[in-house]
Structure 1
Amino acid sequence: MAELTSQEVVDLTRTLNYGTWRFQKGWMPMHVVDAEGCEIIDGDGKRYLDFSSQLMCSNLGHKNAAVIAAIAEQAQQLAYAMPGYATTARAELSQLLLEVLPQGLNKFFFTTSGTEANEAAFKIARMYTGKNKIIARYRSYHGSTSGSIAATGDPRRWAMEPAGKLPGVIFAPEAFCYRCPLGHAAANCGNACANYIEHMIVNESDVAAVIVEPIVGTNGVIVPPEGYMPRLREICTKHNVLLIADEVMSGWGRTGKWFAMEHWGVAPDILVTAKGITSAYVPLGLCATNEKIAAYFDDHYFSHGHTYEAHPITLKPAVATIKEMQRLGLVERSAELGLYLGEKLRELQTRHVCVGEVRGKGLFWALDLVKNRATKEPFATYADKVSGKALLVDQIAGKCVADGMTVQSWVSHFVIAPPLIVSKEQIDFGVALLDKHLAMADEQCVTS
């Protein structure tokens, strides 16, 4: 078979494959042939700064030699073992997780994605509590499988309704001070959004768990006010409701801590994660529970599992990833460089009237674009996205690609989350491109 040209690869991909979360017409995927460090390389040899770690997952950057070696070593030694067997990779990773996870989480179920890990968390919560309902929040994304999309608050759930709206999932307001869903003007509201969750628990018959992204991911990198997580922990404990932390995106050093919940000293009952656990080199998810939940299943049937649970080729590179993060001090580096990146992004806000808010922690930030700073009106809504309308953030992202940088755009904001190995010079380059192309949005702003 003749070697495919770069254009043939693109044409075959767009013709024979589905592009996710988009209209298929007009999809022109970039042909990526290589990646190294903080850069990805296309079929023409052009390099691009990866300013969002692809899907906020390539935390170690690309071509880390230790992780690649771990994949090859495990493939040569033992390519597959069914979940009922013990393997060295499984034992090594489980032991290592005790060093980096929030204290008290010490029983693990491995999956091949974040959405599967959330499915496991919901099943475990329901089996353990004997209750059914899960409280999620509106500005949230927990995955695309049936249970996870049902618990997703953002409008990606809508296409699956009414069947996708599974019984037992109810939604609470998000902790979003910039656009408070309860209409409060500032963060000194006494944690009204957390207190409303208590109101929901009291007025529902059988709430098993509350699930939150500690720092909301795709839907805007929303950082809660300081007292929110401790208050939510207090509410869940008081009412015997489990607290599930979805750290698929916010874990693994992304926010300047191993896990975002550590910023508030809060221990969840269940922690779900994926993405950065292997720096996305192989697909792995994790559902971790505390000792009380683990002890329950000593004498109660654990009714869950799948063929690829604890797949050895996914586990060995996770061991290598954690050790590389420790060796390179990447959690501390994320915290340090996060201050630098945050400062640079706030400087953008002073120069561009289209930037309504800059928010984030560590190397996890959002630029929220608005037509009018006074009213906080965004440039687009989800209804615009699903209508096929050309969105301004996508146009700006396209300009950045032409100049050598990829960045994730979503409705009316950008997610800025470079690999944790990023340099200050690369941050400067990425911010300079945003500075250049945000002028497109400034021209459409109301300034009076």
Structure 2
Amino acid sequence: MSPTDTLPQNMHGMTSEEIVDLTRRLNYGTWRFQKSWNPVHIADAEDCYIIDGAGKRYLDFSSQLMCVNLGHKNPVVVESIAQQARELPYAMPGYATATRAELSKLLLEVLPEGINKFFFTTSGTEANEAAFKIARMYTGKSKIIARYRSYHGSTSGSIAATGDPRRWAMEPGGKGPGVVFGPEVNCYRCPMKHTYPQCGVACADYIEHMIRNESDVAAVLLEPIVGTNGVLVPPDEYFPKLRKICDENGVLMIADEVMTGWGRTGKWFAVEHWGVTPDILVTAKGITSAYVPLGLCATSEKIGDFFLDHYFAHGHTYEAHPMTLAPAVATIHEMQRLNLVDRAAELAPYVESKLRALKEKHRSIGEVRGKGLFWAVDLVKNRETKEPFNTYTDKVSGAPLLVDQIAGKMFADGVAIQAWVSHFVIAPPLIVTKEELDRGIDALDKHLSLADEKCV
């Protein structure tokens, strides 16, 4: 008997080995060299855990792609999908549906006040595309100012507005007309070589310099807390200052809350930490806890009023698809019932204390940063120089990354964590317990010796 003969059969009658083989041969693995892709077969998931084809459980310490905020297989959300399928599986966007009306009304309870006109999509990148078009139609201007160390999606416009190297393969044509890049806010590794607070938040001042010298700027696009590229938390002055700059120069502010929305940072939306309301808010991921693909482009009332007598030149077949909206209604109700936004805020000091203790123990940790249940552990060769173990060039060249090696060892120990270039993203489901937080952090602690040994 071969080892594969003992692998469990799933409902489709295939072994785990067959599932992995077919997936690898017939599908593209995203953001990677295909020859190195060897995906694990995930057969089930529950609460804060994913389960492979052999039945092994893994703590989902980054909520997959920072999106399963409610945890896996919440029965209320699952039933909402089934119920919507029985009642009305599809209606084209030109029709009104009860689910659409219910979700729209519910969004008014959780979105920042004044954001009250909605366009539904099936992904965050599509929601950003809608935001760009709306900003350009509303202002009559063309340019979008984005920032380096940002990610806004993979479709044509969104990848053009992405500052990280995932854009590089699409250039020069992929950069797209009307997108210019400014400095990110990164007080640990300031791209302008300044020191906070003596700098006076010069990175925001530079955005103002760009607006005044580029001309024709429709909007500034920002992740309130940069996501995959390092969980970069701005100083408290940054967003109020940038809001003032946008207002004084007639430029819209677009907040990309695809990753930071839905309680992840201890607020419904991250911009609330700084008392700022954007003109357009884009979100996805946690809106359905990723059970069904849904994105949202939400605008202010003044933008909505503009299109009362101006042509709204955007749409697609799956806009406001009932099957995507029903689980969003259920997700919001479950988050409210379980008080998960406050829970993320309450657990933040516990996570921070554990990670700061980890930094004291491991000289390979340069910085830990975050809010709520959204944290990064940044690895460095040398704390004084802040030199990382790997760079973006290593990532796109296919070179082995130290964080991937550590993540692989953690996975073998039953903890799944997202690693990117030279840092880890810690973002478990908002239902996580302190015991589960301890388990995940302990697994990272165990294998950071790999990095410590390489420090100089």
Structure 1 distance, partners of 2:450, 2:408, is 12
Give how far 1:2 is off.
Answer: 7.5
Structure 1 distance, partners of 2:201, 2:31, is 34
Range with greater deviation from structure 2 (381-390 or 14-23): 381-390
| 3-state secondary structure, aligned to 1:122 | helix
Per-residue CA deviation, residues 170-206 of structure 1 (Å, 9 max, x unaligned), is: 0000000000011112333111000100000011120
> Match for 1:171: what amino acid?
F
> Match for 1:180: what amino acid?
C
Range with greater deviation from structure 2 (180-189 or 243-252): 180-189
Is residue 2:95 matched to residue 1:101?
A: no
Structure 2 distance, partners of 1:361, 1:231, is 20
Aligned to 2:323: 313
Q: 1:373-392 residue pairs with structure 2 within 5 A? A: 373-392=383-402
Give how far 1:353 is off.
Answer: 0.3
Aligned to 1:322: 332
Give how far 1:380 is off.
Answer: 0.4
Aligned to 1:10: 20
Aligned to 1:298: 308
Aligned to 2:7: none
Aligned to 1:222: 232
Is residue 2:297 matched to residue 1:287?
A: yes
Question: Structure 1 residues 80, 264: closer, same or farther in 2, change over 3 A?
Answer: same
- Ranges of 4+ aligned residues in structure 1 off by more than 4 Å: none
Aligned to 1:444: 454
Aligned to 1:429: 439
Alignment: residue pair count = 446
| 3-state secondary structure, aligned to 1:271 | strand
| 3-state secondary structure, aligned to 2:369 | strand
Q: In 1, are the aligned partners of 2:69 and 2:428 still within 8 Å (CA)?
A: yes
Structure 1 distance, partners of 2:197, 2:158, is 29
| 3-state secondary structure, aligned to 2:36 | coil
Structure 2 distance, partners of 1:115, 1:185, is 33
Question: Structure 1 residues 150, 2: closer, same or farther in 2, change over 3 A?
Answer: closer
> Match for 2:432: what amino acid?
V
Is residue 2:265 matched to residue 1:242?
A: no
Is residue 2:283 matched to residue 1:273?
A: yes
Give how far 1:151 is off.
Answer: 0.3
Structure 2 distance, partners of 1:417, 1:117, is 22
Structure 2 distance, partners of 1:123, 1:186, is 35
Per-residue CA deviation, residues 211-264 of structure 1 (Å, 9 max, x unaligned), is: 000000000000001100000000000001000000000000000000000000
Pick aligned residue for 2:169 from 145, 159, 168: 159
Structure 1 distance, partners of 2:80, 2:252, is 35
Pick aligned residue for 2:51 from 30, 41, 44: 41
TM-score by length of 2: 0.97
Q: 1:100-139 residue pairs with structure 2 within 5 A? A: 100-139=110-149
Pick aligned residue for 2:193 from 171, 183, 200: 183
Q: 1:135-154 residue pairs with structure 2 within 5 A? A: 135-154=145-164
TM-score by length of 1: 0.99
Structure 2 distance, partners of 1:256, 1:444, is 35
Q: In 1, are the aligned partners of 2:59 and 2:416 still within 8 Å (CA)?
A: yes
| 3-state secondary structure, aligned to 1:366 | strand
Aligned to 1:84: 94
Structure 1 distance, partners of 2:395, 2:148, is 18
Per-residue CA deviation, residues 56-110 of structure 1 (Å, 9 max, x unaligned), is: 0000000101000100000010000000000000000000000000000000000
Structure 2 distance, partners of 1:199, 1:172, is 10
Structure 1 distance, partners of 2:144, 2:32, is 28
Question: Structure 1 residues 182, 43: closer, same or farther in 2, change over 3 A?
Answer: same
Pick aligned residue for 2:74 from 59, 64, 76: 64
> Match for 1:221: what amino acid?
V
Q: In 1, are the aligned partners of 2:24 and 2:37 still within 8 Å (CA)?
A: yes
Aligned to 2:5: none
Structure 2 distance, partners of 1:173, 1:234, is 18
Structure 2 distance, partners of 1:154, 1:254, is 22
Structure 2 distance, partners of 1:2, 1:361, is 42
Per-residue CA deviation, residues 405-446 of structure 1 (Å, 9 max, x unaligned), is: 000000000000000000000000000000000000000001
Question: Structure 1 residues 2, 341: closer, same or farther in 2, change over 3 A?
Answer: closer
Give how far 1:385 is off.
Answer: 1.2
Is residue 2:266 matched to residue 1:256?
A: yes
Give how far 1:343 is off.
Answer: 1.0
Pick aligned residue for 2:355 from 333, 339, 345: 345
Q: 1:387-426 residue pairs with structure 2 within 5 A? A: 387-426=397-436
| 3-state secondary structure, aligned to 2:323 | helix
Structure 2 distance, partners of 1:226, 1:445, is 32
CA RMSD in angstroms comes to: 0.8
Is residue 2:243 matched to residue 1:207?
A: no
Pick aligned residue for 1:22 from 29, 32, 56: 32
> Match for 2:91: what amino acid?
A
Q: In 1, are the aligned partners of 2:165 and 2:396 still within 8 Å (CA)?
A: no
Structure 1 distance, partners of 2:396, 2:151, is 17
Pick aligned residue for 1:334 from 321, 332, 344: 344
Q: Structure 1, unaligned stretches of length 5 or more? A: none
Structure 1 distance, partners of 2:12, 2:245, is 63
Give how far 1:389 is off.
Answer: 1.0
